[in-house]
A and B are shown apart, each in its own frame.
Chain A
Amino acid sequence: MRSARALTPDALADRVLRGDRGAIARMLTRAESGGETARAALDRLYRHAGKAHVVGITGVPGSGKSTLVARLAFAVRRSARTVGIVAVDPSSPFSGGSILGDRIRMSDLAGDPGVFVRSMATRGAMGGLARGTLDVVDVLDAAGYDFVIIETVGVGQDEVDVARAAHTTVVVSAPGLGDDVQAIKAGILEIADVHVVSKCDRPDANQAIAELKGMLALGLSLAPGSAQTWHPPVIATSSARGEGIDELLAAIDGHRRALEATEEIVARRAAIAERRMLKAAEAMLHDRFMRRRGATTAAVLAALGDRRLSPHAAARRLLQDLQSGDSE
């Protein structure tokens, strides 16, 4: 049986704009697979997006991000606003498959029509987000969610992409994590607009807060391009006791107001759009190279192999070849 959701791209986009959950879900699937069939609808939805405040939440493994996101979502709902959540988990490097378990921590949100949760696998993408994450954000934005929260993978130092995708970036750390985890933390600290120290019901929490403040005092807090008037606050939360969550939402709202007051928000949105444009162009080029792995590529590779061509010169040859291919 074919479902009511098997719709033309235009009809699907219409339903997304009306907030139809089944249609949103289907649109997200198409956005995630990144195919041409989705493009027209996504282009249309993009024009309707731009209203949501996009919050990126990143942090070291074991810092309790998913629970915090769930708590934050409750706070957003209490403030009579709606929220879409994109939870990114890693794909297996061996099979490309994944097990996505972030919803478990968010299951108390089930049944609330003002919340939409979607799990995504990285499918080999680096930087803490999945390919297509920003298209997914657009869909949720266009569907009318006031907040869109992106929860990153949380496994490595390179999780800085979220700062180039979100309006407000929250970096979560927790007391009592090992040295290796501390190193990861140091790597992502500078992207924070808001710092959270989670699990503050634990006895060693004060030490973790003091350590974090110490690291920030060393000057790590000057996020490049961040509004100079904004000083990233450090917020202590306890998801177990429900403490600090309202303060976190207030900090995010505060950051948003600061961005708007200085018109920094315009610059951030522009930077995000520009980066996406360049990324999309890169992806298109990459895709075309892969499709045209024909005779020219083989010849260039051979020349590259016996050092007749440098990698740089070889790249120029490939681009020339693409252009001549286009004019054929």
Chain B
Amino acid sequence: MNDPDTDPKGMDGAALDRLAAQVEAWERNEVATFLERTPERLTAFATLGGFPVKRTYTALDLARTPGDDIGLPGQFPFTRGPYPTMYRSRTWTMRQIAGFGTAEDTNQRFKYLIAQGQTGLSTDFDMPTLMGYDSDHPMSEGEVGREGVAIDCLADMEHLFDGIDLQTISVSMTINPSAWILLAMYVALAQQRGYDLDRLSGTIQADILKEYQAQKEWAFPIAPSVRIVRDCITYCARHMKRYNPINISGYHISEAGSSPLDEVAFTMCNLIAYVEEVCKTGMAVDEFAPRLAFFYVCQSDFFEEIAKFRAVRRVYAKIMRDRFGARNPESMRLRFHCQTAAASLTKPQYPINVVRTGLQALAAVLGGAQSLHTNGMDEAFAIPTEDAMRIALRTQQIIADESGVANVVDPLGGSYFVESLTTEYEKEIFKVVDYVDRNGGTVKLTEEGWFQRRVADFAYETALKKARGEKPVIGVNKYADAQERFDIELHPYDASTAERQITRLRQVRRDRDSQRVAALLDALVAVARDETRNLMPVTIELVSAGATMGEIVERLKGLWGTYRETPMF
């Protein structure tokens, strides 16, 4: 228990005793009388993630959280925010993800978004690019440029960022198994344009462990894949001071069906695995940890999400300081990008998705996100139209400029309920981390499907709850409109995309110095065989010489093999 004299929350032991008696009397009198007349809606209330929720919270609950764990914004353990002034200095980065068709198509969407006031770029790639296949590979058929932009080689990258100054805008690339190749292309493009690499800001996702656990995009087995992540982190720490080499992501874990607790807890398990891997190279934790970044979803349980964000910041700070011995506060402040929950959007009555997204975005801001993507209302149908994206961006702008919530740092700090739930979350996150530690660590449990099974179990329970109506979804299992007909303008897929893309790809293959590419691919394999070496420099040379992503990946598959999962149900 805290020393009441130094407890910044200002309740001494006697005051707490008086309060306890008061609460008990209230339950006995006012509450009991009301319950006799009208029972509550449910016999027990819980958050979407299953945390029990009491009737109300008081200073008694707050007293269970040590004052130091709450602290102040920009101070350890950063519960109240990574920075002291937060949105009073600069509001979060409004970073709407975009990507479709060829590089030219997406370049136009980027320019539109910048014109609408967007402050960061975020790139969505098509499935072949995400999985490391060239657009003319048989597995790519039907998928080129469909769900994101198709990138095969440096020439595509040049078109993607044509006319955009990469020294003044940060660029996020949502890509994992093939992330290091995209990073290499980005570096090669910057070199071409004569940029100082230390001035580039942005991120690749490069969080491969959550791929095996949740999103299921991979090229190689786990061990070499983690080594690639390590190489990205150490390369950026030495050559790109402002660039985040990884975005440890809970978002996809959540979208695959996990509980909000597992979403954040698993990112901490994955974090530990990456940090250990990088430290094995002899790099000190403070050399790279300041550039580790995170990515979370914001779901629809408003206070739970806020508590989740606050708790994971606290857990991260403690892990980095106490477990890894970080000394630099920059290594302990968790910074995250946030996206509202695509899985919460519905096709029925789809315009109401704007409201869902608005509430989720508000929770993300109250939870202290550094950048935010708000989903388009039509995402349950297809990738969003320009109109849907504009409304989504305006949603953020209303929160930033009209609501006033950005004027005070962590306005919910000290809330009896939110602080209590934050502390509950912290405890439960540490329980998961401890379990993983005791049972062989993240990589072993990923191989055994432990994470995957927890995700599948929660997803199945959620589906059953929806079917039983226990989890209301407006327009689906409540207030559904049987007569509804969808009259919606969808983002069109340009059938000529694949052809245009493949034409350029073949042109690049014809025009380059093939002998040089072949020699560099041999050099790549030699580097890959030696685990102490870094894959980045040779990959940068490769893409500069016109090698395609598919060529690089296929060559390494020859060395490392690929991955086949044992699915958990």
14 residue pairs bridging A and B, Cβ less than 8 Å apart:
A62-B448, A99-B569, A101-B566, A101-B567, A101-B569, A104-B564, A104-B565, A104-B566, A104-B567, A105-B564, A105-B566, A107-B564, A240-B221, A240-B561
Which residues in B have their C-beta under 8 angstroms from that of A240?
A: 221, 561
**In chain A between 102 and 133, which residues have their CB closer than 8 angstroms to a CB of chain B?**
104-105, 107
Minimum CB–CB distance for B262 against chain A, Å: 22
| CA A321 to CA B121, docked complex, whole Å | 83
| CA A240 to CA B564, docked complex, whole Å | 11
| CA A104 to CA B564, docked complex, whole Å | 8
Q: How large is the interface on B (under 10, 10 to 19, 20 to 34, 35 or more residues)?
A: under 10
Mask, B547-569, CB within 8 Å of A = 1, is 00000000000000100111101
| CA A83 to CA B564, docked complex, whole Å | 22
- Which 4 pairs between the two chains have the least Cβ-Cβ distance? A99-B569, A101-B567, A104-B564, A105-B564
Mask, A90-103, CB within 8 Å of B = 1, is 00000000010100
Smallest Cβ-Cβ distance to B560: which chain A residue: A240
Minimum CB–CB distance for A239 against chain B, Å: 10
| CA A173 to CA B564, docked complex, whole Å | 20
Chain B's interface: helix, strand, loop or mixed, by majority?
Answer: loop
Give 11 A-B pairs besides A101-B567, A101-B569, A104-B565 with Cβ atoms closer than 8 angstroms.
A62-B448, A99-B569, A101-B566, A104-B564, A104-B566, A104-B567, A105-B564, A105-B566, A107-B564, A240-B221, A240-B561
Smallest Cβ-Cβ distance to B567: which chain A residue: A101
Which residues in A have their C-beta under 8 angstroms from that of B448?
A: 62
Which residues in B have their C-beta under 8 angstroms from that of A101?
A: 566-567, 569
Smallest Cβ-Cβ distance to A99: which chain B residue: B569
Minimum CB–CB distance for A247 against chain B, Å: 20
| CA A104 to CA B448, docked complex, whole Å | 15
Minimum CB–CB distance for B181 against chain A, Å: 24
Smallest Cβ-Cβ distance to A106: which chain B residue: B564
| CA A261 to CA B96, docked complex, whole Å | 74
Which residues in A have their C-beta under 8 angstroms from that of B569?
A: 99, 101
**In chain B between 262 and 315, which residues have their CB closer than 8 angstroms to a CB of chain A?**
none
**In chain A between 36 and 86, which residues have their CB closer than 8 angstroms to a CB of chain B?**
62
| CA A62 to CA B221, docked complex, whole Å | 17
Which residues in B have their C-beta under 8 angstroms from that of A62?
A: 448
| CA A62 to CA B565, docked complex, whole Å | 13
| CA A105 to CA B565, docked complex, whole Å | 8
Smallest Cβ-Cβ distance to A62: which chain B residue: B448
Which residues in B have their C-beta under 8 angstroms from that of A105?
A: 564, 566
Mask, B383-396, CB within 8 Å of A = 1, is 00000000000000
| CA A99 to CA B566, docked complex, whole Å | 12
Smallest Cβ-Cβ distance to A108: which chain B residue: B564
| CA A104 to CA B568, docked complex, whole Å | 12
**In chain A between 205 and 241, which residues have their CB closer than 8 angstroms to a CB of chain B?**
240
**In chain A between 262 and 292, which residues have their CB closer than 8 angstroms to a CB of chain B?**
none
| CA A105 to CA B562, docked complex, whole Å | 12
Minimum CB–CB distance for B310 against chain A, Å: 38
Minimum CB–CB distance for B491 against chain A, Å: 33
**In chain B between 427 and 472, which residues have their CB closer than 8 angstroms to a CB of chain A?**
448
| CA A220 to CA B221, docked complex, whole Å | 37
| CA A62 to CA B448, docked complex, whole Å | 8
Which residues in A have their C-beta under 8 angstroms from that of B567?
A: 101, 104
Which residues in A have their C-beta under 8 angstroms from that of B564?
A: 104-105, 107
Minimum CB–CB distance for B435 against chain A, Å: 15
| CA A101 to CA B566, docked complex, whole Å | 8
Which residues in B have their C-beta under 8 angstroms from that of A104?
A: 564-567
Smallest Cβ-Cβ distance to B569: which chain A residue: A99
| CA A101 to CA B449, docked complex, whole Å | 14
| CA A107 to CA B565, docked complex, whole Å | 11
Smallest Cβ-Cβ distance to B565: which chain A residue: A104
Mask, A168-197, CB within 8 Å of B = 1, is 000000000000000000000000000000
Minimum CB–CB distance for A105 against chain B, Å: 6
